[in-house]
Amino acid sequence: MDSNDFGCSILHFGLAAAEIVEANPELRAPISSQASCRRSGGDEESHKCHIPRARLFAPLGTTRPARVFQPTVTVLVVQILAFVLWLVIPTRLGAATVRAWEGTLDLPTYLLGEEDPNPPFPLVKGHRVYPYTMLDDLTDRRETVTYKALFLENEYLKATVLPSLGGRLYSLYDKASGREVFYRNNVVKYGLVALRGAWISGGIEFNFPDGHTTVTVSPVAWTLRQNSDASATAIVGTMDRVTGMHWEVALTLRPGQARLEQQVTLFNPTPLANLYWYWANAAVPATEDMSFDFPMREAYPHARWPVFTFPAYKGVIYSFYKEIRQPTSLFGRQVHRNFFGAYYQFADYGVVHVADFREVPGKKTWTWGVAGDGLIWTDLLTDHDGPYNEIQSGRYETQLNYEFMAPRRVESWTEYWYPVRGLGGNVVEATSDLAVNAPFVPTGGPEPAPFKIQISPTVAVNGARVRLKSGSRMVREFGPVNLAPLEPVVFDVPVKELQTNPKAPLDAKLVVEVESSGGGILARWSSADPVDGNPDFVPAADAPKPEAKDPEKMTVEELFLYGVGQEKDGQENAAEETYERALERDPGYVPALVKQAWRRYRAADLRGAESSVARALARNAFDPQASYAAGVIYRAAGRLTLAADAFWAAIHYGGPPAPAFAQLDYQRAAPLLWRALSYNPSDALVQTDLAVAFRLGGNPERALGVVAEALERMPLLPFALAERWRTANTGASGAPSAETAAAALYSTHDVQDYLEVAAWYRGLGDYSSADAVLEQALKGLPASAMSPLLYYYLASNARARQDATTAQSFATQAAAASYDKVFPQRLSDALVLAEAIVDNPLDAHAQYYLGNFLFAHGRYKDAAKLWFQALGEGFDYSVLDRNLGVYAWRVKEDRKTAARFYAKAIQLAPADYRLYVDLDEIYAQLGDTARRLELFAKAPEPVVNRDTVRVRRSLLLVEQRHYDQALSLLMGHHFKPWEGGEIVRRVYVLANLEKGKSSLRAGSAAEAELAFRRALEYPPNLGVGQPDKPNDVDVLYWLGEALAAGGKPDAARDAWRQAPAEGKDSDVAVRLYRALAMRRLGQSRQAERILDGLAAWSLRPLHRRARRARSPSRGLGAGRLQARNRS
């Protein structure tokens, strides 16, 4: 880039900043980071945290009974004396500093096998994982592993955080009660649940931008802070490689407080809107006495219809774990309360979550249920710690769809988690300061039941007053009393005091208030309020299923919005097709053209993106969304003057924010960036951009101050960490040493963090900083963590400086670097690789890498062209051949060519068991049984012992009628299925079913009966437990046939009677065998109706038929969709 281009690029930095200022009203005020459950008043004294003297001498782990207050003169005198003593006897515990330290934790761990070397393209996996690898190779090798751990501890709680396992809160220990607040899993035992496969249970899992997210068991960045107010904070987070978005969770313990504060920050630093959701997934022990304490009237069961009533629906009490028979998710509907939790009736103990329902409306329960298909996951996920349930908080009401996060948007809020006890089994109101219950408790005697007010505080409140009102009448006021953290108190009020007339019914408007000494209301509950706190609640439980409108009858606008809905549902390919259908009807429809332009931009098709946005602007030159998209696209293409024009147009016409650009005219840049920051103070990247402008403008001290503010907002933001390091290298006054700043760069030691920052510096035109970051990676990372992209970026930077010799040197190193698991994702990755190919058309590795990027973004033909070129250059690599096999199989539907590529891939990587599974499926589709037999016969022993390969071999043996051999393979192995995956048992059932039919045909009814009865079993080694309502109608039908043939007519009729009661009505096979069983029972008329319905179904258009017929090969390795649906 010459100096004129460089200067023009720099100018765009300020233009984009101005756009942020002018064009995005929603960012003109910082998003609140305060929790909703605030004190509405009160003096400073009410905020001080003290511990009663008695607590100093209580043995650790002792559970002390709640203090009970009776309305007597003696008690009032004692309370007054206690209050005086409280004021005059000093205590220093309330001012103790919270400890924070880094250490290690040794945990027994079932080791993961090798990461999948093959890129998980969306076309193959069906969900967004690329550019991450799959972690689906689970082993039975158990070893003790030492994990890095972060510890926080105050008087009441000790928190343990594991950055190596996704930043999970591993443990929150209640020192007062001597027990864990959440479910603690004392072993790391992976199950196939997460997006990438491996997942663990326990503690609190932080999920953004997806559920059971890509880094849930991977290292994330972290830091510890000892705060000036004596509190301490552990911060974890990372950049998501799929979207480029950033998240941080700051966990804080404060002196004298028995609550964990959770500050969440989500940030989209990219120029595009990205789909996301956020959920904090807390595990709690699943015991017989456990209840879900959720203030809701209705809930979504992971579907928009039907809506469940809560706590009971169709005879099932969903608030009690022991009553729930099957895996169940429930999302609170239209809840206007700020709390939820879990409670243990026998222990009189629980955990509460508090957050502003306007900021964090999501309230979710999850349980595996108490039937076999759920309980088997106890063994799959732990050794000795028993089952667990989940209580989750979310940014949105449900997980039924994602939402878009706008470019440069920051979202931040605070949540609280804390233990409660002595509340008698329930919580009716909770704030960040205390939880309240207000039950009537039967006395068992002639006296009427007393009314109780039970309080479990998280902070010390001196001089509190507790009031009970009946309507407008004050019934009783208790106080002043001193509330202490985790010291439950109980106030009894005889029922007769609630009644002005003993014969009159109780007033329905009972009100409990807890007030601070300064008059602020700490908590308020009214029996007249609805349980969910929503006076405008609209019931939906009895509503009929909504009828979906046929897309063919939709207007263009309706069709476009339908596509947006599909996109939010995670159906990105379907949404793309819908947008194209909208454009077929109206080729100039601007919203669809803008969507098309963004899709092409993501896929590095800049020419196509320019064409789309030009068509949009031709229809409406004043559309700010189209102008903004044009600015981003032109900038990426290096057409900087056009980009400037487009951004100014977006500003004038009220468009969305643009990314910040670098500029040479630093004096002009700074005012525009300050202006942008004044409208969006939470944007730490704008601050970092400003720091770059100051540093390059010769004012490193100013740069240091600005970047410090950015890191105060987002302590783990890679761009800000890098800029602090760069500023430290200038020797600015007050800067940390360069060594200290470098050591704090990226605690994960992930090369992708360095590449992300280098790409950002390139976008700013600061190539020297980009080089410095890349060279720091080469210097500081282990060889195993290196990526050839480091060298490709360095080569590109050298070309920008017209340094051909250095560029050639780095290009040579790039070509010689390891090509294992290199999956480019950033747009800048694609542009750098394309440049490398132009510079050296024979660089087969660059062709392979760029092909990966293009295929992952839907440019299948262009990707295949590059892969074929790499192959022609002599690049022999199993993944390259596998990729070409995927292209031939999934895109071209040329199975014979696909088989050839997969066979070659196996020759190059005979130990890659995943290749055998795909090739066997291809051969099966070709009907080539001989090659299937040969494939498994030649496979190495470690390959044939893999779960998925064993299942494929067993299926083949069943098809060959070698039933006993198939069953031997299945019964001689411990399987680890995906969540929701039943393929292993399906093959087991099929083997027994076909064996039984064979015996029946041979006249051996006894052997047939035995085989059919075994088909009804659920062997534990298969990893699939028996559900509450099994789906074995076909087996029961054939069992009846065997019993009838064996001279057992009564038993046969029992089997046939049981068959119609099993299975789902939507399953075609279920309906068929149900009809056959009815025929055998003489219920011919009912049977014929079912068969007529099946006949009518078979005549429907193929695309409208139900696609749930049981097939033993359908869903091999399945379950990932079910896992997402319950994440």
Look at residue 1068 in the predicted model and tell me its pLDDT: 82
Three-class SS of 293-304: ECCCCEEECCCC
478 and 401 in a common domain: no
1116 near 952, Cβ under 8 Å?
yes
Residue-level pLDDT at 508: 66
Residues 273 and 180 in one domain: yes
Paired tokens of 190: 């992976």
Domain that holds residue 189: 96-421
User: In this structure, how many other beta carbons lie within 10 angstroms of the beta carbon of residue 1057?
Assistant: 16
Tell me phi and psi for residue 773, to 5 degrees: -65, -45
CATH classification of the domain holding 479: 2.60.40
What is the amino acid identity at position 283?
A
Q: Cα separation of 677 and 27, whole Å? A: 10
Determine, yes or no, domain membership for 589. Answer: no
Which residue's structure tokens are 């139900």?
Answer: 1106
Burial of 988 per CB tally in 10 Å (0-12, 13-18, 19+): buried
On whether both 386 and 470 belong to a single domain, the answer is: no
Do 290 and 378 lie in a common domain?
A: yes
Residue 395: how many other CB atoms lie within 10 Å: 20
Give the helix ranges, DSSP H, for 960-1023.
Answer: 963-971, 983-1001, 1005-1015
In the three-class reduction of DSSP (H, G, I as helix; E, B as strand; rest coil), residue 118 is classed as coil
Do 364 and 394 contact (CB within 8 A), yes or no?
yes
For position 34, what pLDDT does the model report?
33
Specify the pLDDT at position 542.
87
**Please, are residues 1113 and 952 in contact by the beta-carbon 8 Å criterion?**
no
Predicted pLDDT at 665? 45
| 169 falls within a domain | yes
- Please list, in sequence order, all residues whose beta carbon lies within 8 angstroms of the beta carbon of residue 536, skipping any fewer than 6 positions away: none
Judged by DSSP in three states, 268 sits in coil
CATH number of the domain within which 404 lies: 2.70.98.10
pLDDT, tens only, 92-102: 344 589 999 99
Collapsing DSSP to helix, strand or coil, 649 comes out as: helix
**Are both 344 and 490 inside the same structural domain?**
no
The Cα diameter of the chain in Å comes to 100
- Residues facing residue 329 across a β-bridge: 366
- Are residues 444 and 405 located together in one domain of the fold? no
> What is the model's pLDDT at position 926?
98
The DSSP H or E segment spanning 353 is strand 349-354
* Ordered alpha helix ranges (H), 275-395: 372-381
Following DSSP, what letter does each residue of 711-776 receive, concatenated?
HHH-TT-HHHHHHHHHHHTTT-TTPPPHHHHHHTS-TT--HHHHHHHHHHHHHHT-HHHHHHHHHH
Predicted local confidence at residue 1014, as pLDDT = 98
Query: Cα separation of 229 and 49, whole Å?
Result: 13
The DSSP H or E segment spanning 292 is strand 290-293
Residue 1106 domain flag:
yes
Q: Distance between CA atoms of 866 and 868, rounded to whole angstroms?
A: 5
- My answer on whether 215 and 329 are in the same domain is yes
Task: Report yes or no on 122 lying in a domain.
Answer: yes
Task: Quote the CA–CA distance of 1088 and 655 in Å, as a whole number.
Answer: 62
Q: How far is CA 271 from CA 244, 493, 567, in A?
A: 10, 61, 18
Answer yes or no: do 335 and 471 share one domain.
no
Domain end, chosen from 390, 421, 452, is at: 421
Task: Name the domain boundary from 526, 552, 576.
Answer: 526
Give the integer Cα–Cα distance in Å for 561 and 1093: 35
Question: Backbone phi, then psi, for 335, in 5-degree steps?
Answer: -85, 130
3-state secondary structure 497-554: HHCCCCCCCCCCCEEEEEECCCCCEEEEEECCCCCCCCCCCCCCCCCCCCCCCCHHHC
> Do residue 1035 and residue 1111 come from a single domain?
yes
403 and 519 both lie in a single domain: no
489 belongs to a structural domain: yes
Q: Are 1065 and 1057 in contact (CB under 8 A)?
A: no
- Overall residue count recorded for the chain in this entry: 1127
User: Rounded to whole angstroms, how far apart are CA atoms 753 and 192?
Assistant: 27
Orientation of helix 700-713 relative to helix 684-696, angle to 10° = 170
Does some domain include residue 1037? yes
Residue from 1106, 1073, 1105, 1107 nearest 1091 by CA: 1073
3-class SS of residue 921: helix
The DSSP line for 858-880 is T-HHHHHHHHHHHHHTT---HHH
For 1057, the token pair is 């009677």
CATH number at residue 1112: 1.25.40.10
Note the Cα 741 to chain centre separation in Å.
31
- CA separation for the pair 707, 728 (Å, rounded): 11
Count how many domains the chain has. 3
* 181 touches 965 (CB < 8 A): no
Residue 136 in any domain: the answer is: yes
- The mean pLDDT values, 10 residues at a time, for the chain of 1127 residues are 40 46 43 32 34 31 51 45 42 68 99 97 92 98 98 99 98 98 99 98 98 97 96 98 98 99 98 97 98 98 95 98 98 99 98 99 98 98 98 97 94 99 97 95 64 96 96 89 98 80 66 96 96 97 92 97 96 96 98 98 98 98 95 92 88 63 49 75 92 92 95 96 92 75 74 96 94 94 94 98 97 96 98 98 98 98 99 98 99 98 99 98 98 98 97 98 98 96 96 98 98 98 96 95 97 93 72 92 90 78 43 40 43
Kindly state whether residues 184 and 253 are assigned to the same domain: yes
Answer whether residue 1044 is part of any domain.
yes
Structure tokens at 439: 């039950």
For residue range 238-263, list pLDDT tens digits in order: 999 999 999 999 999 999 999 999 99
Residues in Cβ contact with 679 at an 8 Å cutoff, skipping those fewer than 6 apart: 20, 21, 24, 27, 28
Mark which of 481, 506, 526 sits at the end of a domain: 526
Non-local CB neighbours of 305 within 8 Å, separated by 6+ positions: 543, 545, 546
913, 917, 923, 924 alpha-carbon torsion, rounded to 10°? 150
Residue 130 tokens read as 């690329």
Any idea what DSSP says for residue 889? I
- Which among 932, 922, 879 has a CA at the least distance from the CA of 899? 922
Q: 457 with 443: CB under 8 angstroms?
A: no
Q: Facing residues of 366 across strands?
A: 329, 390
Q: Which one-letter amino acid corresponds to residue 190?
A: Y
The answer to whether the CB of 725 falls within 8 A of the CB of 56 is no
Between CA 871 and CA 66 the distance in angstroms is 75
- Is-cis flag, bond preceding 480, omega within 30? yes
Residue with tokens 């809160």: 169
**Of the candidates 1059, 1071, 1072, which has an alpha carbon nearest to the alpha carbon of residue 1033?**
1059
Question: pTM of the entire structure?
Answer: 0.90
Contacts 24+ apart (CB under 8 A), 111-116: 111/139, 111/141, 111/142, 111/143, 111/145, 112/137, 112/138, 112/139, 112/190, 112/198, 113/137, 113/138, 113/139, 115/821, 116/914
Cis peptide before 311 (omega within 30 of 0): yes
Claim to verify: residue 140 and residue 257 sit in the same structural domain: yes
